[in-house]
Amino acid sequence: MSTSIYIYLLQSSLCLFAFYAFYFLVLKNENYHQLNRMYLVSGLLLSLSIPLFQFSLNESTPLIVETIVNIDEQIESTATEIFTPSIEETSSTFSLSSFLLFIYLGGVLFLSIRLLVGLIKIRKLIASGMQTNRDGYTLIETESEHSVFSFFNIILWSKFRDYSSHDEEQIIAHEKIHIQEKHSLDLILCELIQIFMWFNPIIYLYKRSLKNVHEFIADQKTFSNYNLNYVELLIKEATLQQQGSLPAVSTFFNTQIKKRLTMIKNSKKQSNKIKLIGALPILAALIFSFCCEKTAAQSDSTQLYYTFVDYEMEFTPSGERRSEDEMKEVAIERAKYWDGIERKKENIHLIFTGGWDNKTIDWDSETIETILVPKGIPLPKHHPILKEPYWTRMTKEGKLELTLTETNQKYEVLSFDAAINKPIPSKKNTFESLNTSFEGDMLDEYALNYIAKIDQSQFAQSNIVVRNLIVEHDGLKYFIPTKTRMNLAR
């Protein structure tokens, strides 16, 4: 099971805990039961949904971002060295992951079988009983000993239960409310979520609370018609032996008799519905925590960017020279590939290096002073661009090395920008990236830990892209703006 699944289950469990904690602390004793039911069911659905959605917030510091990758984009230089965990680390990770997966799937299988067995028992009771179709429901009289319960539009009644006609009328009225309110749908949803979140103790408390709310709704409506006679019936039923419960059914009697009687007593009491508004900050906090994907960004209204004009930016594939606006559009797309941020053309400044007609740029010209330095890129005022062919490699320890192709001379790396990319399985051609800048020739500990945590199944497709290198050789410093992609694994 991939790491993203574990993260989803954890985030979903935390959402469920937050929703249940608010219900338990604030709403549990209130008598607006229909609203409580809506809250609990919505909490279930939101707990599943919130971790699935993401949107971006702008932030002023480099953070992990999601980048849409153009697979046709040409990236210069070659891939070389490998980021490979040690054999012991790989084996340990694999064993732990396999063990957790085995335990999780075992729990899923057990609860799936239990639910299936329960549904089969209900099906057998229905098939073996005597059926009577009534207004809006079907009554099944069974040959087995069990409490009266409803399942969707069916009420199952044991012939061994001997009730007076008046008691029978009240019990049927109670179960009809479960049918009309479609409480079985809530319980089936809860049972299914419980299968996949069986490890979370909150789901069991959540299901019990939802069942109680169902009973409060049915009690409240039945009491309004039968008054104290219905209370007497509940007390009488409390003296009977409670049988083993079946999944996804609404039973007339359950062990929360004292709580049910208290809710009936307080049914006329006015509750403060404004308390429900307190759930909104919880919802907002969960969305902010799990849905907001922060991206490193600058305000286009204040930040200017420069870009070096290379051959592919200046000319179309057919050899026609682009206009400056078209060059800026190419630059914007390249920048968007790098960090997912959309720039404005009026904030882009083109720097023509003159590399195609053997001219050199005058870094000391006054025009360079009017160009602001964009985020993460050093101003190459005194560093000419390295034009000789070169190749790069990244060692397992995270050291970046650069060597000239023709002379095999090594250049010392003084600083560089890097993006460590790993694929997002659910989104084609989409990567999650750690974008940051480094002083010296080494990745920092945070970047190395980010690489170490990449799932083994994603490692072959992951890569690291470096650009904006400052290198030094024989006391001379050079600037390399182009991107170089290196694989993390062969």
Measure the CA–CA gap between 44 and 12, rounded to whole angstroms.
Answer: 9
- Predicted pLDDT of residue 163: 82
- Predicted pLDDT of residue 14: 93
Phi and psi of 210, rounded to 5°?
Answer: -65, -40
- Predicted pLDDT of residue 241: 46
Output the CA torsion sign for 346, 351, 356, 362. positive
* Structural tokens at position 454: 């990449």
Q: Is 230 left (phi over 0), alpha (psi -120 to 50) or beta?
A: alpha
Block means of pLDDT (10 residues each) for the chain, 490 residues, are 75 93 91 92 93 60 36 33 42 66 93 95 92 91 89 91 85 92 94 95 95 91 81 70 58 65 73 78 82 47 62 73 84 70 75 42 33 39 73 86 90 88 76 80 88 82 84 85 70
For the chain, how big is the Rg over CA atoms in Å?
A: 33
151-to-79, 119, 125 alpha-carbon distances in Å: 62, 10, 11
Measure the CA–CA gap between 98 and 68, rounded to whole angstroms.
Answer: 31
263-to-2, 214, 219 alpha-carbon distances in Å: 46, 12, 9
Measure the CA–CA gap between 190 and 198, rounded to whole angstroms.
Answer: 11
- Predicted pLDDT of residue 311: 63
DSSP lists the bridge partners of residue 131 as 140
> At a CB cut-off of 8 Å and minimum separation 6, what does 456 contact?
90, 93, 94
